[in-house]
């Protein structure tokens, strides 16, 4: 039994005991008073009657007449005249009068009053005695009425007391419930503070809980700061601050594996020519300034375009990944113009070569790097003959949809209306090979061919149809899970959270399949936590009671920048392939992943890894204590 229930029963018991005690004491006191009054009445009436009889000088007829008159005018059980020898000379008796009080009450509060007795005389001679006893039923009736009235008033007072006690208990319970919710939140990875109540004892409890939560929050923030430092050391070049070669290649590989990127993307390579000769002529410090200038020009793009990545491939080579179609040539020209304007300030002989390519994203990373290297080599060859800035651009063949936005919108809407779509299924498995859930990206049938998210998502973003398509995917997942009971994960675009109708429609859709909803997981990109935190918080608050799990995908070091991640109420996080690829060969990357897992586990989150393509990496990730993995290696070798 809960503490509040025990206190409630205790208060109820005290109130009932007080009521019973008050009624009992009052009733017994009234009984004693009435019994005394009846006893005095019997005695007084007997004396008065005896005095009247003594004045009749022993006349029997007159005595009988007075006795009958006394009996008729009073409420008596009997009036009796005895002679001097104790013989009954005359008696009037009516027996006990039936009253309104119930028999059990009469028996419980019995009023036993002795009869009043007085001597009758004639002059100085005693001629007998008179004895009378009043009816007690009137006293019982009056006592019964008074007891009922008292009980009614006490019940009203007791009800008011119980209501006041209930309000008081609720006021006491509110801070206790807040403390319990706070403790449960800590277990669930949510570190919220509660206001202190006015009750001194509860103030101490709340203050202690708040101090503990604040301490845990500070530990989390310190751990996040340490992860940022470790990330800088492991993933970033110490001189320029951009990604190292290994990390940039991992980011490139992860970008090519994703199903939500553009169908065609670009890659620009920049090489500072004759780095060794520049070090000899200008000195290492000046060359470092040249490299910083090149990086500054490259960094302008990730700051303005989401998804761009910059990396230093070696001492003189830099790379810029452009996740968009038709911008590689324009970007390369803009870079060349910026560097032509800034590098001559360091003196003659500072030259760069640029190579830009644009390819379909389904090409492997080796093709990307090979084509980019070839373009850069041709640019350098031209530079030797021209003696200046050179640029070589290799454009991809026309890939994409040359239709207008109106046509895109119509085609996407028709695909949803005609249910021309299916869910692909990629397993997420634990270390023992058990299936945790299925990742199910949506594939739409456009122009008679299946199109992955890399094709339709950019169109949906431009046409503002992501919410409609995400609801379509959720509906497909619910129907599939209703059929086989398998948990399925759907990718939700952060843009859908900005649609005012998305969440109400999603709740209605889930309410129609309550059992299948418990098998549903919703993935949102890391940007949802960094850019739309309040919307993410509301999504989890409304869907969690329905059994839906909410998590982040493509997560990396950006999680350390989420100031209130401990309040987001997430269920899991999927680490991006760019963080995980190559972890088997680099102790620093493994340490960073292990730190991420520890930080996320402190928030009671499940941690999964994305895009695993190598068995050695998979083993290293299991050693980092991840809960599950997905990717080509998991799909092809689920039991490994």
Burial of 256 by CB count in 10 Å (0-12 exposed, 13-18 middle, 19+ buried)? buried
User: Residue 122 contacts by C-beta under 8 Å, 6 or more apart in sequence?
Assistant: 54, 57, 58
CB 116 within 8 A of CB 45: yes
With a cut of 60, say whether residue 390 has pLDDT above it: no
- Mean pLDDT across the chain: 82
Distance CA 503, CA 526 (A): 19
Q: What is the pLDDT of residues 17-45, one digit of tens each?
A: 877 787 778 888 888 888 888 888 889 88
How far out from the chain centre does Cα 350 lie? 58
pLDDT score, position 397 = 42
**Residue extents of the structural domains in the chain:** 3-159, 264-394, 405-636
Work out the angle at residue 523's Cα, subtended by the Cα atoms of residues 517 and 524, and round it to the nearest 5 degrees. 130
38-88, pLDDT tens digit by residue? Answer: 888 889 888 888 888 888 777 778 888 888 888 888 788 888 888 888 888
291-335 pLDDT tens trace: 999 999 888 877 556 678 899 998 889 999 988 888 888 888 888
Q: Is the pLDDT of residue 273 over 50?
A: yes
* pTM attached to this predicted model: 0.64
- 586-623 pLDDT, tens digit per residue, is 888 888 888 888 888 877 889 999 989 889 999 999 99
User: Which CATH entry fits the domain spanning 405-636: 3.40.50.920, 1.10.10.60, 3.20.20.450, 1.10.12.10?
Assistant: 3.20.20.450
Q: How many CB atoms lie within 10 A of CB 22?
A: 16
- Cβ neighbours for 206, distance < 8 A, ≥ 6 positions apart: 175, 178, 179, 194, 195, 196, 197
Q: Rounded CA gap, 417 and 401, in Å?
A: 21
The confidence band for 448, taking pLDDT boundaries of 50, 70 and 90, is confident
CB 74 within 8 A of CB 134: yes
More confident residue, 406 or 128: 128
Q: Smallest Cα–Cα separation from 252: which of 330, 324, 308?
A: 308
Cβ 566 vs Cβ 540: under 8 Å:
no
Residue 312: per-residue pLDDT: 92
Of 106, 109, 107, 114, nearest in space to 29 by CA: 109
Indicate left, alpha or beta for 283 from its phi (over 0: left) and psi (-120 to 50: alpha): left
pLDDT digits (tens, 9 = 90+) for 177-191: 777 776 766 666 566
What is the rounded CA–CA span in Å between residue 226 and residue 232?
A: 10
Weakest mean pLDDT among 361-370, 382-391, 587-596: 382-391
**CB contact at 8 A, 87 and 112:** no
Contact 497, 535 (CB under 8 A): yes
Q: Is pLDDT above 50 for 140?
A: yes
Backbone angles phi, psi at 342, to 5 degrees: -105, -35
List phi, psi (to 5°) of 328: -65, -50
Residue 201 has pLDDT above 70, yes or no: no
Q: How many residues does the chain have?
A: 640
> 130 and 79 in contact (C-beta within 8 Å)?
yes
Task: Report how far residue 442's alpha carbon sits from residue 636's, in angstroms, rounded to the nearest whole number.
Answer: 21
Q: Does domain 3-159 have CATH number 3.30.450?
A: yes
pLDDT at 320: 92
CATH C-level class of 264-394:
alpha beta
pLDDT at 473: 94
CA 576 to chain centre: 25
């Amino acid at each position: 039994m809960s503490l509040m229930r025990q206190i409630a029963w205790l208060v109820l018991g005290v109130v009932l005991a007080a009521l019973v005690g008050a009624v009992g004491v009052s009733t017994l006191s009234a009984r004693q008073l009435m019994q005394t009054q009846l006893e005095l009445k019997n005695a007084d009436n007997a004396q008065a009657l005896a005095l009247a009889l003594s004045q009749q000088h022993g006349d029997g007829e007159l005595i009988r007449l007075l006795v009958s008159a006394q009996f008729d005018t009073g409420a008596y059980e009997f009036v009796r005249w005895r002679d001097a020898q104790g013989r009954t000379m005359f008696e009037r008796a009516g027996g006990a009068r039936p009253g309104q009080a119930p028999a059990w009450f009469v028996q419980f509060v019995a009023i036993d009053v002795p009869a009043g007795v007085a001597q009758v005389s004639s002059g100085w001679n005693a001629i007998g005695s008179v004895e009378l006893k009043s009816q007690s039923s009137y006293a019982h009736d009056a006592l019964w009425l008074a007891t009922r009235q008292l009980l009614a008033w006490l019940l009203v007072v007791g009800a008011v007391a119980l209501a006041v006690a209930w309000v008081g208990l609720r006021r006491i319970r509110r801070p206790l419930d807040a403390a319990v919710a706070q403790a449960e939140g800590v277990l669930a990875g949510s570190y919220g503070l509660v206001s202190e109540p006015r009750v001194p004892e509860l103030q101490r409890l709340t203050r202690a809980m708040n101090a503990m939560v604040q301490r845990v929050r500070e530990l989390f923030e310190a751990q996040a700061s340490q992860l940022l430092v470790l990330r800088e050391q492991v993933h970033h070049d110490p001189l320029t601050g951009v990604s190292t070669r290994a990390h940039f290649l991992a980011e490139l590989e992860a970008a090519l594996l994703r199903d939500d990127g553009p169908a065609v993307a670009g890659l620009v390579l920049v090489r500072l020519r004759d780095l060794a000769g520049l070090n000899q002529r200008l000195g290492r410090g000046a060359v470092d300034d040249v490299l910083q200038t090149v990086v500054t020009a490259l960094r302008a793009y990730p700051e303005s375009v989401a998804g761009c990545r910059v990396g230093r491939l070696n001492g003189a080579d830099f790379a810029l990944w452009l996740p968009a179609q038709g911008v590689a040539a324009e970007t390369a020209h803009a870079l060349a113009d910026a560097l032509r304007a800034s590098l001559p300030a360091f003196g003659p002989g500072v030259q760069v070569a640029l190579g830009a390519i644009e390819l379909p994203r389904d090409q492997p990373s080796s093709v990307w790097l090979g084509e980019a290297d070839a373009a850069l080599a041709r640019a350098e060859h031209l530079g030797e003959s021209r003696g200046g800035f050179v640029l070589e651009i290799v454009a991809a063949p026309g890939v994409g949809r040359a239709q207008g936005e109106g046509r895109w919108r119509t085609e996407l809407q028709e695909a949803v209306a005609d249910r021309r779509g299916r869910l692909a299924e990629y397993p997420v498995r634990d270390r023992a090979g058990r299936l945790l859930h299925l990742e199910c990206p949506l594939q739409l049938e456009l122009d008679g061919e299946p199109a992955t998210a890399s094709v339709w998502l950019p169109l949906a973003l431009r046409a503002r149809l992501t919410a409609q398509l995400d609801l379509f995917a959720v509906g497909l997942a619910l129907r599939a899970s209703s059929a086989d009971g398998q948990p399925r994960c759907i990718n939700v675009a952060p843009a859908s959270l900005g649609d005012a109708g998305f969440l109400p429609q999603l709740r209605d859709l889930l309410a129609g399949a309550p059992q299948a909803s418990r098998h549903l997981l919703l993935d949102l990109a890391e940007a949802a936590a960094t850019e739309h935190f309040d919307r993410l918080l509301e999504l989890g608050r409304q869907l969690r009671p329905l059994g839906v799990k909410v998590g982040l995908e493509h997560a990396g070091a950006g999680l350390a920048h989420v100031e209130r991640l401990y309040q987001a109420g997430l269920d899991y996080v999927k680490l991006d392939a760019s963080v995980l690829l190559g972890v088997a060969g680099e102790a620093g990357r493994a340490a960073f992943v292990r730190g991420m897992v520890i930080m996320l586990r402190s928030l009671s989150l499940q941690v999964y890894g994305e895009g695993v393509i190598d068995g050695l990496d998979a083993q290293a990730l299991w050693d980092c204590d991840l809960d599950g993995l997905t990717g080509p290696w998991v799909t092809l070798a689920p039991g490994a």
